């Protein structure tokens, strides 16, 4: 049993760790962090949604 555990430990040390994010998500994250794509604030998104739905605040 100790041999199996030692092999598993060696495999963990040599295997490339898997990323939590996909390559597409990593690319988008890079673009967002470096200001390469336009973003909107939450307030602006909500304002646009209210206009689109025809909702007016009273």
The Cα 49–Cα 43 span in angstroms is 10
pLDDT single digits (tens) 42-52 = 999 999 999 99
pLDDT single digits (tens) 12-37 = 666 667 789 999 999 999 999 999 99
What residues make up the domain containing 8? 2-53
Within a domain: residue 34?
A: yes
Q: Taking the model in full, what pTM does it have?
A: 0.46
What is the total count of domains within the chain? Answer: 1
Residue 13 confidence (pLDDT): 65
Within a domain: residue 38?
A: yes
Predicted confidence (pLDDT) at residue 1 exceeds the cutoff of 60? no
The Cα 6–Cα 3 span in angstroms is 5
The Cα 37–Cα 48 span in angstroms is 19
Within a domain: residue 58?
A: no
């Amino acid at each position: 049993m100790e041999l199996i555990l030692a092999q598993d430990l060696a495999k963990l040390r040599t295997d490339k760790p898997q990323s939590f994010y996909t390559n597409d998500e990593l690319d988008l994250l890079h673009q967002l962090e470096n200001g390469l794509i336009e973003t909107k604030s939450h307030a602006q998104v909500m304002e646009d949604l209210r206009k689109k739905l025809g909702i007016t605040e009273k």
